[in-house]
Amino acid sequence: MNTLHLIHPQKSDIRFQTMIFPDGQPHIKIDVPSAKVLDKKQPLRIFTRINNPNDLLLVLFIKNTLDYMEFEHIELHISYLMAARMDRVMLDGEPFSLKVVAAILNQAHFKRIVLFDPHSEVATALIDRSYTISNHCFVKDVLNSYYKNSQRASMCLVSPDAGALKKIHKLAQALQVEAVVECMKERDLKTGALTNFKTTTETLDNLTCFIIDDICDGGGTFTGTAKMLKEKGAARVNLVVSHGIFSKGVPLQFIDDIYTTDSYRPIEQVNCFPIEAYFEDEQLAG
């Protein structure tokens, strides 16, 4: 499959230039000779992050340009999708943001849209012809990397809250991990304040815990969970998140090691895995 690579332009099969006009509008100029040599009947993917509205608009401009150039099979492969967390109306007076983003993507009529570990199944329900790449291979790579450099010890996977619970049991089954710890917290939707971290597990005597989730923004959920796990006797607490925003920086208190991908951006001072590898030869779920 040929690629127009917005994350790493040097890997792109079609050369291009992007720019921002003075009024803030994104723009692209595709190199016509490099596009003309490609077979327009073969699949062509746009590989990108959609971190902000300009990223979304640029993708639509590219699709429009490629349509005019008569490419017949255009796919969109998204490492990070803006608004994926806003998968419902959270409070009165707030938008259903993911539904709006999905409607924008749907009007572009991509042949297929591939998403890496979106927040919930709502994304694929709303986005036409969309498929997900799970975090299973990523987490497997994390565990292999960790135990190459650390003595193998008793371990468990940790779900930090109810939202992560469904995914973690599928992950544990796929990786043949028996020990899963379920955690809970309370969040004030108006203020964002987190309280009352707890788990039904009585003791974590000398276990190495891997907290698994799709995204880390400020990190409050994970620092609160890690503190509680160590109070229960955990020897180490490692954080594994598919999408690392880390808006309040790293390291995170009570977390021993952090593992993420560069789906949102490259992150220094943590173990950051290249996202592109997980888009290659991956089984997709609708």
What residue spans define the domains of the chain?
A: 2-133, 136-274
CA distance 235 to 226: 11
For residue 261, list its beta bridge partners. 243, 273
What does the alpha-carbon distance between residue 38 and residue 149 come to, in Å, rounded to a whole number? 44
SS (H, E, C) the chain: CEEEECCCHHHCCCCEEEEECCCCCEEEEECHHHHHCCCCCCCEEEEEEECCHHHHHHHHHHHHHHHHCCCCCEEEEEEEECCCCCCCCCCCCCCCHHHHHHHHHHCCCCCEEEEECCCCCHHHHHCCCEEEECCHHHHHHHHHHHHHHCCCCCEEEEECCHHHHHHHHHHHHHHCCCCEEEEEEEECCCCCCEEEEEECCCCCCCCEEEEEEEEECCCHHHHHHHHHHHHCCCCEEEEEEEEECCCCCCCCCCCCEEEEEECCCCCCCCEEECHHHHHCCCCCEC
Is residue 14 scored above 90 in pLDDT? yes
Q: What is the pLDDT of residues 57-97, one digit of tens each?
A: 999 999 999 999 999 999 999 999 999 999 999 999 999 99
List CB contacts of 126: < 8 A, sequence separation 6 or more. Answer: 98, 99, 102, 103
Q: What are phi and psi of 161, to 5 degrees?
A: -160, 180
Cα 62 to chain centroid, rounded: 22
In angstroms, the CA 51 to CA 60 distance is 14
Pick the CATH number of 136-274 from 3.30.70.3040, 3.40.50.11890, 3.40.50.2020, 3.40.50.150: 3.40.50.2020
Beta bridge partners of 20: 26
For residue 200, what pLDDT is reported? 86
Instruction: Give the separation between CA 213 and CA 48, rounded to whole angstroms.
Output: 21
Q: Are 7 and 14 in contact (CB under 8 A)?
A: no
Q: Note the pLDDT tens digit of each residue in 189-240.
A: 777 788 889 998 989 999 999 999 999 999 999 999 999 999 999 999 999 9
How confident is the model over 225-279, as pLDDT tens digits? Answer: 999 999 999 999 999 999 999 999 999 999 999 999 999 999 999 999 999 999 9
pLDDT at 121 over 60: yes
Average predicted confidence (pLDDT) for the chain: 95
| Least confident among 13-17, 57-61, 163-167, 208-212 | 163-167
pLDDT at 281: 61
User: Topology of domain 2-133, per CATH?
Assistant: Rossmann fold (3.40.50)
Q: Quick one: what percent of the chain has pLDDT higher than 70?
A: 98
- CA separation for the pair 115, 130 (Å, rounded): 7
Sign of CA dihedral 224, 227, 229, 234: positive
Provide the 10 A C-beta neighbour count for residue 203: 9
